[in-house]
């Protein structure tokens, strides 16, 4: 199963990606984490990327596409993946389409976590993160509840970087959603409730049939369950029970 988590900075992609990774036992591919690891290791790419991340801007499409091309060819992605943070531009989305085509592994679903801009700004300002497990916490939280470790503020969660991040998202990343809506792959989730409520909706969306380009397909049935007329693009009322992959 190949899933893509789509949403603005602060929409909860990382949290839901971790839930999906645990639930389905598939690999979490997070380009932001990959870039931060390069920065931490002081690689040439990390040195190049550091000021770009700190300013809330995007690393170039060429670099990001090459990074994902290498990552998806690694054996731990063979059973499937949850992608978080890529694609962030339409050229990246097109490159991913052709890569998935080459690998013979279609994208099964795009989960869109929808959160209003005011709420995003509120969540990002002063947010703290555990450097070990990447869990995020509200300002003034003492320590990570999973690791007990000290929390830090991400450089791009500082006030001066938060607004540019949202602006670049609105300008460059919102068109990516239209790209996938056109392909009939998007399930939209209200990203405002509790983490548990949102997780339930995400799992229901993944398990529900998808209406795409006139075909009804189920990602859990290997995209073969053609069934005219059924299915819905939004989880909710029917809430089919999620299954393990
Ligand atoms: P968030 O979604 O909260 O902004 P991420 O951890 O996904 O955080 O990304 C952090 C930063 O890494 C982005 O602001 C950007 O600078 C860079 N980045 C990550 N993925 C990409 C990408 N696909 N294209 C360009 N830049 C990226």
Query: Residue 242's pLDDT is what?
Result: 35
Nearest residue (CA) to ligand 1, atom 9: 32
The radius of gyration computed from the CA coordinates of the chain, to the nearest angstrom, equals 18
**Among 193, 4, 14, which residue's Cα sits nearest to residue 114?**
193
If one residue of 59, 68, 82 were mutated to test the ligand 1 pocket, choosing by the most ligand atoms within 8 A of its CB, it would be 59
Q: Are 15 and 129 in contact (CB under 8 A)?
A: no
Question: For 86-128, how does the pLDDT look when each residue is reduced to its tens digit (9 = 90+)?
Answer: 999 999 999 999 999 999 999 999 999 999 999 999 999 889 9
Res. 218 pLDDT band, cuts 50 70 90: very low
Range from 11-25, 40-54, 158-172, 225-239 carrying the lowest mean pLDDT: 225-239
Distance 85 CA to ligand 1 centre (A): 6
Res. 211 pLDDT band, cuts 50 70 90: low
Distance 64 CA to ligand 1 centre (A): 10
Structure tokens at 237: 């009322």
Residue found under tokens 């998806």: 72
Query: Residue 173's pLDDT is what?
Result: 97
- pLDDT exceeds 80 at position 83: yes
Cis check for the bond before 117: say yes or no (omega within 30 of 0): no
Reported as type and span, the H/E element at residue 89 is: none
Query: Residue 139's pLDDT is what?
Result: 87
Q: Coil, strand, or helix at residue 64?
A: helix
- pLDDT exceeds 70 at position 224: no
C-alpha span between 204 and 170 (Å, rounded): 27
12 lines ligand 1 (CB under 6 A): no
Distance 156 CA to ligand 1 centre (A): 10
Ligand 1 nearest atom to the CA of residue 35, by list position? 12
**Catalytic positions:** 13, 88, 127, 154, 165
9 lines ligand 1 (CB under 6 A): yes
Q: Are 220 and 1 in contact (CB under 8 A)?
A: yes
**Domains of the chain listed by start with CATH number:** 2-122+160-244 (3.40.50.300)
C-alpha span between 36 and 237 (Å, rounded): 39
93 lines ligand 1 (CB under 6 A): no
Q: Are 49 and 64 in contact (CB under 8 A)?
A: no
Question: For 122-175, how does the pLDDT look when each residue is reduced to its tens digit (9 = 90+)?
Answer: 999 889 999 888 888 988 899 999 999 899 999 899 888 999 999 999 999 999
- pLDDT exceeds 80 at position 215: no
Ligand 1 nearest atom to the CA of residue 13, by list position? 2
Reported as type and span, the H/E element at residue 30 is: strand 27-30
Q: Coil, strand, or helix at residue 118?
A: helix
């Amino acid at each position: 199963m190949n899933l893509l988590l789509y949403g603005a900075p602060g929409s909860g992609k990382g949290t839901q990606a971790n839930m999906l990774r645990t639930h389905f036992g598939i690999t979490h591919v997070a380009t932001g984490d990959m870039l931060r690891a390069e920065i931490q290791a002081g690689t040439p790419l990390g040195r190049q990327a550091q000021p770009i991340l700190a300013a809330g801007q995007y690393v170039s499409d060429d670099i990001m596409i090459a990074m994902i091309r290498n990552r998806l060819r690694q054996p731990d992605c063979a059973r499937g993946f949850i992608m978080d943070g890529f694609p962030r531009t339409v050229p990246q989305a097109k490159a991913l389409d052709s890569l998935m085509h080459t690998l013979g592994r279609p994208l099964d679903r795009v989960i869109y976590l929808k959160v209003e801009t005011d709420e995003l700004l509120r969540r990002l300002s002063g947010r703290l993160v555990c450097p070990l497990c990447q869990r995020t916490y509200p300002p003034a939280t003492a320590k990570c509840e999973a690791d007990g470790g000290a929390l830090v503020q991400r450089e791009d969660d500082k006030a001066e970087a938060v607004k540019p991040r949202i602006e670049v998202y609105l300008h460059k990343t919102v068109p990516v959603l239209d790209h996938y809506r056109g392909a009939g792959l998007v399930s939209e989730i209200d990203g405002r409730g509790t983490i548990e409520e949102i997780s339930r909706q995400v799992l229901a969306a993944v398990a529900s049939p998808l209406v795409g380009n006139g075909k009804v397909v189920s990602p859990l049935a290997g995209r073969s369950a053609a069934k005219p007329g059924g299915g819905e693009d939004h989880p909710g009322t029917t809430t089919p029970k999620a299954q393990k992959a």
